[in-house]
Structure 1
Amino acid sequence: MHYISWDEINGLVRLIADEVKQKSIDTIVGISRSGLIPAVMLSHTLGVRNFAVLDIIRTTSDDINAEKTGANYRGILNEQFIKGKNVLLVDDIVGEGMTIRNAKQILKDLDANVVSATLVINQDNLGTTSPEEVVDICGCIVHGWVIFPWEGKEN
């Protein structure tokens, strides 16, 4: 199990921002729920005020190793900031990659040019798939379950 501190989160956000600042990003899209936190942090760091939320859920609870379903798309907020725009899609973690792959397709269907980023990749869940096949920018790679500071679980 990996506990990630706020200091580590700040470092990962800066790392992603450094890679993204060469690109012309119009809108940041956070994947609800936990992707919203790094997405807002990146929005401030990059000075990108257009923000949208993509609501996709896979887990049935917040429990460690909770049961997963298919990527259940539940809606989008601020779609007008996505259509035909250069979009940075952000999530907190990529496991199997289903959520971010589905999110990218939804945005591409809205004619967006998508750059995807995640703070963490859990390579154990991703298996033999390389991170580059799933996401454009990754803060770090771990092997095992991750607990983020915003989850309120003691370390």
Structure 2
Amino acid sequence: MTDRLPHERGFHVSWDQLHRDARALAWRLDGRDWRAIVAITRGGLVPAMIVARELDIRTIDTISVKSYNKQEQGGLEVLKSPDPALMEDGDGILVVDDLVDSGRTLELVRNMYPKAHFATVYAKPKGRPMVQDYVTEVSQDTWIFFPWDMALQYVEPYRGSD
């Protein structure tokens, strides 16, 4: 068996799977009185839209945090903040992202809005303490391939060709 690079331990998520998982997240979040949803862009946009639809939440804003550069984590930078009048201290606000990995992005946003509720579709062990709700946990060394990052193409069999 050959050693694989860390990104080769992949979890490929289809559009259909993401939709089902985001709906499952919405079901876990149902029954609470949310004032608004804040999506962490870019990855949180699609799950936030699905959760907003399922829970009939019409007020949606975004926070843009840049933390990755070509699949390597770097410094955090808030590029765009949500409306301060909407956010206040975060009470009644649902913050949605696609994934919590190291937890650094959500920690930054949590410090900005300490009373907000944080939910992601997928969670890795290091970042899991940063979220109150998530659907699926994957190992820390798994790279999640989201549908917006992928194109259909031929893949060589794991054991190689005949």
Provide TM-score, normalisation by structure 1.
0.82
Distance 1:153 1:122, change over 3 A: farther
- CA deviations over 1:7-37 (Å, ceiling 9, x no partner): 2112211221111112110110000111111
Query: How far apart are 1:152 and its partner, in Å?
Result: 3.3
How many residues align? The count is 141
Aligned twin of 2:44: 35
State the Cα RMSD in Å. 1.7
Query: How far apart are 1:134 and its partner, in Å?
Result: 1.5
Cα distance in 2 for residues equivalent to 1:52 and 1:41 = 14
Aligned twin of 2:72: 67
Structure 2 contact 38–82 (Cα < 8 Å) conserved: no
Gapped runs of 5+ residues in structure 2? 1-9, 154-162
Query: How far apart are 1:139 and its partner, in Å?
Result: 1.1
Cα distance in 1 for residues equivalent to 2:46 and 2:138 = 19
- CA deviations over 1:33-92 (Å, ceiling 9, x no partner): 11111111111111111111111111113xxxx221122112214333222541100111
Gapped runs of 5+ residues in structure 1? none
Cα distance in 1 for residues equivalent to 2:26 and 2:41 = 20
Secondary structure of the equivalent of 1:9? helix
Q: Give matches, 1:103-114, under 5 Å.
A: 103-108=109-114, 113-114=115-116
Query: How far apart are 1:118 and its partner, in Å?
Result: 0.5
Cα distance in 2 for residues equivalent to 1:71 and 1:154 = 32
The yes-or-no answer on 1:134 pairing with 2:130 is: yes
AA aligned to 2:143 is: W
Give every structure 1 segment of 4 or more consecutive aligned residues whose post-TM-superposition deviation is greater than 4 Å.
none
* Farther off after superposition, 79-88 or 30-39: 79-88
Cα distance in 1 for residues equivalent to 2:76 and 2:152 = 28
State the percentage of identical aligned residues. 23
Cα distance in 1 for residues equivalent to 2:149 and 2:85 = 30
Aligned twin of 2:81: 76
Distance 1:81 1:7, change over 3 A: same
Secondary structure of the equivalent of 2:102? coil
Structure 2 contact 22–50 (Cα < 8 Å) conserved: yes
